[in-house]
Amino acid sequence: MDSQAKTILLKDYRPPAYLIEEVALAVDLFEERARVCSRLVCRRNIGTAPDAPLVLQGEDLVLKSVALDGVPLTPDQYRLEEESLTIPTVGERFLLAVETELYPQKNTSLDGLYRSSSNFCTQCEAEGFRKITYFLDRPDVLARYEVTISAEQERYPVLLANGNLVETGVLPEGRHYARWQDPFPKPSYLFAMVAGNLVKIADTFVTRSGRSVALEIYVQAHNQDKCAHAMASLKKAMAWDEETFGLEYDLDQYMIVAVDDFNMGAMENKGLNLFNSKYVLARPDTATDADYEGIEAVIGHEYFHNWTGNRVTCRDWFQLSLKEGLTVFRDQQFTADQVSAPVKRIHDVRLLRNVQFPEDNGPMAHPVRPDSYMEINNFYTVTIYEKGAEIIRMLHTLLGVELFRQGLALYLTHHDGRAATTDDFVQAMAEVSGRDLAQFKRWYTQAGTPRLTVQGEYDPEARTYTLRLAQATPATPGQPEKEPLHIPVALGLLDGQGKEMPLTCPERQPEAGRNLFELRETQETIRFSGVPEQPRLSILRNFSAPLKVEYGCDEEELLFLFRYDRDPFNRWEAGQCLASRLLLGLVEDFRKSRPLQLDERFVAACGRLLAEEGGDKGFLALLLTLPSEEYLAEQMAVVDVEAIHAARTFARQTLARSLRPQWEQGYAANRSAGPYRYEPELAGQRALRNLCLAYLMSTEDDAATQLALAQFRGTDNMTDQMAAFAGLAHSGRPERQQAIADFYQQWQGDSLVLDKWFAVQATAPLPETLAAVQALMDHPAFQLKNPNKVRALLGSFAAGNPVCFHEVSGRGYAFLAEQILALDPLNPQVAARLAARLGRGARYDAGRQGLMRTQLERIAAIPSLSRDVYEVVSKSLG
C-alpha cells in the first residue's frame, strides 16, 4: 500500500481549526505542466487554541513557495509531508500565498486537474482539490473564490470557472486569460475550471421572478448537433424546481461542459457543471429512449444540487446522502412528472433491488450515513444514493406533499450558505410536522435490507381481517444487532371484484385515513372491522419502504392482484412475485433434472395482457418482463447462475412459443408512424414493440431473425436499432457476426455508440463471450484510460453477464482480476468499482467462493495497491 489505509471515523469529526474566507487562484496552463498560485485569506476558528498549527492537504504537488502575510517562509518554517503542508505558527487572521506546480497531462486518475480530448478540466469531489493546491480540503470550509486562468489562446480559446466572468484579456506569447468570481461561498469540492477548444450552444431561461439566466452548453465542435435535448431538459428542470419547491436559480449564468473521460455521470460544480458526454449528447440515431431519459434525469439531478448540495452542503463526507439521497429523490420526482410515474417508480425499485439490495447483503454493506470509511470515493454507492432517496421518499410519504415542501424550505433557509448534517434535515421535517422522528433516524444508521413478514387472517363471523406484521433487519458487517425501524406501510384490501374496500380500523383511526400505517414495533397487529368478505391484500403499495416483503399468499391471489390491483406498482409487483416463484420452482426442477413446465395460468395472464387495448404501453411492457437473473439470484440461499439462466430462458421461450401470434400482433400494431421523437408515450410504445421482438427472438428462429435484421437495418433511431442489435448479437444465430461487424462499420466514428457495441458483446450469454471480451481489449476503439469504455466492456461483463462471468472454471474472475491490476495504477476509483464484483463470493457455491477468493488474494498481495482497491479487497476478504 502506498498510503496507509487509515480508517476515518465519524466520531472523530472536529470542526476545522482554521477557516478560509477568500481564495484567489491563478492557474497558468502549459503543455507540460500547470502553475497554481493561491492566496488564501484565513482565520482561526472559534475554539481553536492560538498555538494550533495550520495543516493543509495536498497530493501530487510540487511546492514552489509559501509566504505568510507577504513574507516568504523558509523550509524550516513549515513541514512538508506526502499528503500535507503544516505551518506550525500562524496568527488569528492571515494571508497565505502558496505556489505549486502540477502535471495534469500525467493525471490518469481523472480526479483533480486533468486532460480529456486535449482540453483541461477538473473533478474535485470528494477530495480532488488537494491535487490542485494545498488547501483545507473538507466540505465544512466554505470560501469565496476568484479564479484567473491563463492559457495559449489558439489551443484553448474557452476558459471557464465557477460564477461570473469579470475580466478577459490577452497576454504576451499568444496567451490569454479570463477571471471568474463566484459570489457564493462554497466548499472546495465544488470548484471547477475548464480550458479548451469548445463550441457553445446558448439559450436563456427567465426565472419566475423575472431574472434572465444565460444557459450554455460547451461541447467539441463535432457534437454540436447533439445538445438540443440536454438544453430542453435543463429548462424543464429549472421550471420544475420553481413550481414544485419554489426554488429559483441564483447566478446569471449556468454552464454545462461535456467531457469524454469522466469517472461518473456528472458533477454539480457551482454554475459550471461538468458532464460525462454520455449524459449530454443525444441525437435520434445515436441515443436510445433510455439515454434520453437518463440525460433528462442527470441534467435535472445536477441542477437540483444547486440548492440541495451547493447552497446547503455537507458538514463531512459521512453526510453524503444529505445531498445525494435528497437530490436523487428530487430527480426521481422530476422524471416521474415528465414520463409515466408508475414506469419510473418500477425502474427505481428495480435498480434498488438488483443493485442496492445485493450491496446491502455483501461485504461492503454500510448505513446510509456510514460511520467509517478508508476511501470516501468508494462510498458513492447505490446505498448512499438510492436507499438514501428511499429514506427521503418515506419522509415524503409520512408527512405528505405539503408538509414535506415546508420542511425542505425550512431546512434550506435554516442552513443556507452552510454545511449541515442528515440530523439537521430530519430535524426540519420534525419541526414542520410536529412529529417525533427519533426512531425514523435508524434508517440512516442501520445497514441491511429489513424484512417485513406479513400474515393475514379473515374471520367471517366477526367480519374482521387481522394483519400480523413483523420486521427484522439482518446482521451486517460491524452491526450484529438491529433495532426496529419506523416503517410507513401503504396498503389496500380488494374485494372479489377487485374493488377497493373501505378500511375501518378502530385502533388506528388517524393514520388509516390515508391507508397508511406506521410500524414501529418488532411485531404489530392491525385489525380491520366490518370486512364483508375474505379480502385480497395489496401490501406495501408503491413500495412505501425499501424492504423485502415475505407474504405467503397463494398463486391465485397473486394472479388476482396482477389483474386487478389499483396500485400500478403493486400490480406489477404481483406479477413479479408470481413469476419469481415460478422461476425459482423451475430452477429447482432444472437442478434436479426434472422436466420444465411453465404454469399455464401465468401464460394465460400474459396473453390476456397482450390483448388489452390502449393503456400505458411502457407499463404493459414492464408487466410482461420477467424478473432479472440478478433479482432471482437475490432470492436464493446459494446462487446457481446456470440454473437461473436456464430457467429464465426456458420461461421466455415458452411464453414466446405459446403466445406467438400475440407477440407478432403486438409487434405489428406498435410500429410508430413518422420520424423518431423522444416522447414518453412513443417511448412506451417502442418499449412494448421491442419487448415483442425480444420474445420472438428468444426462440432464434428464421422468421424472428429476419424481423430483427429488417429492423436493425431499416430504422431511423437507436432505440430500435439497439433492440434489434442486442437480439441478434445475443443469439446463437450465424447472423450475429454480421450484425456486430455492420454495427461497427456504421458507428466507428461515434465513441458513445461504440460503448453500446462493446456492452452488447460483453453481455452475450454465449460460451465464446469471454474470449471475445479479451480480444476486444485490444480493439483500437478500446481504451483502459477511458471509464466509459471500461464500464462498457469490463463492467458489463462482470455485472451484466452472470453465466459468463461466473463460469465454473473461474476464468472470468481471473480475467477481471488482471484488468483490475492493470487499471489500478491508472484510475483507482474505477478499478475499485470493478473489484467490488469479486466480493460477492459468499452468495455462491464453495467452488466459486474459493475461486473469487483466490483472485482477491492475488490483488491484495500487490504492495502498491491504491487505497480505493485496498479497501474493497480487504473488506471482501473479511
Residues that bind Zn ion (CB under 5 A): 324, 327
Q: Which residue is nearest to ligand B3K (CB)?
A: 125
Is there binding between residue 827 and ligand B3K (CB under 6 A)?
A: no
Of residues 139 and 342, the one with the C-beta less far from ligand B3K? 139
HEC profile of 822-866: HHCCCCHHHHHHHHHHHHHHHHCCHHHHHHHHHHHHHHHCCCCCC
427 in Cβ contact with 524 (< 8 Å): no
Stated as kind and residue range, the H or E segment containing 102 is strand 93-102
Question: DSSP letters of 368-392?
Answer: SS-SEES-GGGG--HIIIIIHHHHH
34 in Cβ contact with 103 (< 8 Å): yes
Is there binding between residue 223 and ligand B3K (CB under 6 A)?
A: no
| 537-540, Cβ contacts within 8 angstroms, sequence gap of 24 or more | 537/454, 537/456, 537/467, 537/491, 537/492, 537/493, 538/491, 538/492, 538/493, 538/494, 538/565, 538/566, 538/567, 538/570, 539/454, 539/489, 539/491, 539/570, 540/452, 540/489, 540/490, 540/491, 540/570, 540/573
Is there binding between residue 267 and ligand B3K (CB under 6 A)?
A: yes
Of residues 352 and 553, the one with the C-beta less far from Zn ion? 352
**Catalytic residue chosen out of the listed positions 127, 146, 296, 302:** 302
Rounded to a whole number of angstroms, the minimum distance from the CB of residue 190 to ligand B3K is: 9
Options 107, 286, 338, 377; binder of ligand B3K; rule CB under 6 A: 377
Is there binding between residue 409 and ligand B3K (CB under 6 A)?
A: no
Q: What type of residue sits at position 459? A: D
562 in Cβ contact with 578 (< 8 Å): yes
Helix pair 600-611, 641-658: axis angle to 10 deg: 50
Is there binding between residue 138 and ligand B3K (CB under 6 A)?
A: no
Q: What type of residue sits at position 442? A: R
578: region left, alpha or beta (phi > 0 left; psi from -120 to 50 alpha):
alpha
Is there binding between residue 301 and ligand B3K (CB under 6 A)?
A: yes
Is there binding between residue 146 and ligand B3K (CB under 6 A)?
A: no
Of residues 125 and 348, the one with the C-beta less far from ligand B3K? 125
Rounded to a whole number of angstroms, the minimum distance from the CB of residue 485 to ligand B3K is: 26
Is there binding between residue 590 and ligand B3K (CB under 6 A)?
A: no
Helix pair 600-611, 660-669: axis angle to 10 deg: 20
Interface with ligand B3K: number of residues (CB under 6 A): 12
d(CA 66, CA 55): 13
d(CA 597, CA 584): 12
Of residues 23 and 267, the one with the C-beta less far from ligand B3K? 267
In the block, cell 477468493 appears at 853
Strands 372-373 and 312-314: unpaired
123 in Cβ contact with 263 (< 8 Å): yes
Of residues 324 and 616, the one with the C-beta less far from Zn ion? 324
Options 125, 293, 599, 750; binder of ligand B3K; rule CB under 6 A: 125
- Catalytic site includes residue 302: yes
Is there binding between residue 332 and ligand B3K (CB under 6 A)?
A: no
Is there binding between residue 853 and ligand B3K (CB under 6 A)?
A: no
267 contact choice in ligand B3K, Zn ion, none (CB below 5 to 8 Å, kind-dependent): ligand B3K
d(CA 478, CA 368): 14
Options 87, 97, 126, 559; binder of ligand B3K; rule CB under 6 A: 126
- Hey, what's the cell of 856? 482477491
Rounded to a whole number of angstroms, the minimum distance from the CB of residue 812 to ligand B3K is: 27
Of residues 57 and 719, the one with the C-beta less far from ligand B3K? 57
First to last CA, the chain: 18
Is there binding between residue 302 and ligand B3K (CB under 6 A)?
A: yes
Per CB under 6 A, which region of 298-306, 491-499, 675-683, 739-747 contacts ligand B3K? 298-306
Of residues 366 and 848, the one with the C-beta less far from ligand B3K? 366
Rounded to a whole number of angstroms, the minimum distance from the CB of residue 252 to Zn ion is: 23
Options 264, 410, 501, 636; binder of ligand B3K; rule CB under 6 A: 264
Per CB under 6 A, which region of 297-305, 346-354, 799-807, 816-824 contacts ligand B3K? 297-305
380 contact choice in Zn ion, ligand B3K, none (CB below 5 to 8 Å, kind-dependent): ligand B3K
Footprint of ligand B3K on this chain (CB under 6 A)? 125-126, 264, 266-268, 301-302, 305, 324, 377, 380
As annotated, the active-site residues are 302
